[in-house]
Amino acid sequence: MHFASALSPTNIFAPVSTPANSIFGLALFVLAVAAVIFTVVFSLLVFSVVRFRKRRDDDGREPPQIYGSNQVELAWTVIPTLIVVTLFMATARVIAGIQKPARPAGAVEVVAVGHQFWWEFRYPELKVVTANELHVPLSDPDHPTPTFLTLTSADTDHSFWVPRLAGKTDLIPNRVNTMWIDPHETGLYLGQCAQYCGTQHAKMLLRVYVQTRDEFDRWIQEQNQPAHTDDNVYAGQRIFETTACINCHTVTGTPARGRFGPDLTHLMSRETIASGSVPNTPENLRQWIRNPAALKPGCRMPAMDLGDQEINALAAYLETLR
């Protein structure tokens, strides 16, 4: 397991959650069957090519003509059929296990909405809205607290894929899908959009933070607070609220109520910006405000043609949104 996750933070063979784990088990079984079939057929191929090659001392006569054999044909119809039936039954079991889960009382509900090119996460019961960085509680196998995701899209098709937690499920506009995860280990799990959704599909990255229940509750509590206010950054706040920023972004407790872009109420609690593309540093934040297309060409946020002074004031305001 350690080796598998060291190979890649997004290795499908390093599962830490039940859906990913049961897929892993099924995958090993299917791979083993495939390996056996490969070995048998490949050996037959090599044997036929080597043993029946035309020899140097060939007499030029045609070999005996054999037109077929019903017994042999029957054998290589029945045996593959049995293999297929076995694989099918193993698969059907895992489909039912993942697609018809029990929903325990402590389950966390998250609505994930795909946007070009970022993720909106809403916790309807906990009254929290965030973006791109999903926080979920650790699930103890004895007292499971799985997270159930309701998936939909605001624009084009997307797909939620964090390989170590679960297989992917698409986010499709005008349709509601569901999936679930129950991570057994704390940590940061990476993923990204897995359905081509437009120009910046490649930088629609996903981060899932699995926290102990206490840490998660504390995070929820912080996210529940209204936006931090600070009179020292009034200039920046004024720029934010008088330019087009508020058409797309929300900062709770202020006139900014747009929903086209990520909620910025607790922007500074996030480790990355631009949907996981770059670390959330003051420098990156300024560069992003100045010209988003420089970091992410084709993204939906326009450059607002602000001067350096305005950008600094605006960034100073955003940096207070902890």
Site for another protein in 172-211 (CB under 8 A): 172-175, 177-178, 190-203, 205
Comparing CB distances to another protein, the nearer of 47 and 234 is 47
Q: Among residue numbers 227 through 286, which ones bind another protein (CB under 8 A)?
A: none
Residue 301, number of CB atoms within 10 A of its CB: 22
Q: What distances in angstroms separate CA 28 from CA 14, 31, 32, 187, 200, one per listed residue?
A: 12, 5, 6, 25, 34
Comparing CB distances to another protein, the nearer of 118 and 317 is 118
Comparing CB distances to another protein, the nearer of 95 and 106 is 95
Burial class (CB in 10 A: 0-12, 13-18, 19+), 269: middle
Q: Verify binding: residue 303, another protein, rule CB under 8 A.
A: no
Q: How far apart are CA 161 and CA 194, in angstroms?
A: 6
Give the chain's length: 322
Strand partners, 142: none
Candidates 32, 73, 255, 303: give the one binding another protein (CB under 8 A): 73
Candidates 2, 3, 52, 71: give the one binding another protein (CB under 8 A): 52
Backbone Cα Rg of the chain: 27
Q: What is the dihedral of CA 29, 31, 37, 41, to 10 degrees?
A: -170
Candidates 144, 167, 187, 258: give the one binding another protein (CB under 8 A): 167
Q: Verify binding: residue 168, another protein, rule CB under 8 A.
A: yes
- The end-to-end CA distance of the chain, in Å, is 36
Q: Spell 143-161 as b/e; 16+ CB within 10 A means b.
A: ebbbbbbbbbbebbbbbbb
Candidates 17, 139, 169, 250: give the one binding another protein (CB under 8 A): 169
Comparing CB distances to another protein, the nearer of 192 and 237 is 192
Q: How far apart are CA 154 and CA 166, in angstroms?
A: 23
Candidates 57, 63, 105, 142: give the one binding another protein (CB under 8 A): 63
Candidates 1, 32, 84, 294: give the one binding another protein (CB under 8 A): 84
Q: Verify binding: residue 80, another protein, rule CB under 8 A.
A: yes
Of 64-72, 120-128, 229-237, 305-313, the segment contacting another protein by CB under 8 A is 64-72
Do 194 and 168 meet the contact criterion of CB atoms below 8 Å apart? yes
Comparing CB distances to another protein, the nearer of 150 and 312 is 150
Candidates 120, 133, 170, 182: give the one binding another protein (CB under 8 A): 170
Comparing CB distances to another protein, the nearer of 172 and 235 is 172
Q: Concatenated DSSP letters for 88-137?
A: HHHHHHHHHHHHS----TT-EEEEEEEETTEEEEEETTTTEEEESEEEEE
Candidates 1, 32, 48, 106: give the one binding another protein (CB under 8 A): 48
**Conformation bin of residue 213: beta by default, left when phi > 0, alpha when psi is -120 to 50:** alpha
Least Å distance between CB 43 and another protein? Answer: 10
Least Å distance between CB 99 and another protein? Answer: 4
- Spell out, one character per residue from 126 to 165, where the chain touches another protein: x when CB under 8 A holds, - when not: -------------------------x---xxx-x-x-x--
Q: How far apart are CA 167 and CA 150, in angstroms?
A: 15
Least Å distance between CB 255 and another protein? Answer: 27
Q: How many residues form the binding site for another protein (CB under 8 A)? A: 91
Candidates 69, 102, 105, 142: give the one binding another protein (CB under 8 A): 69
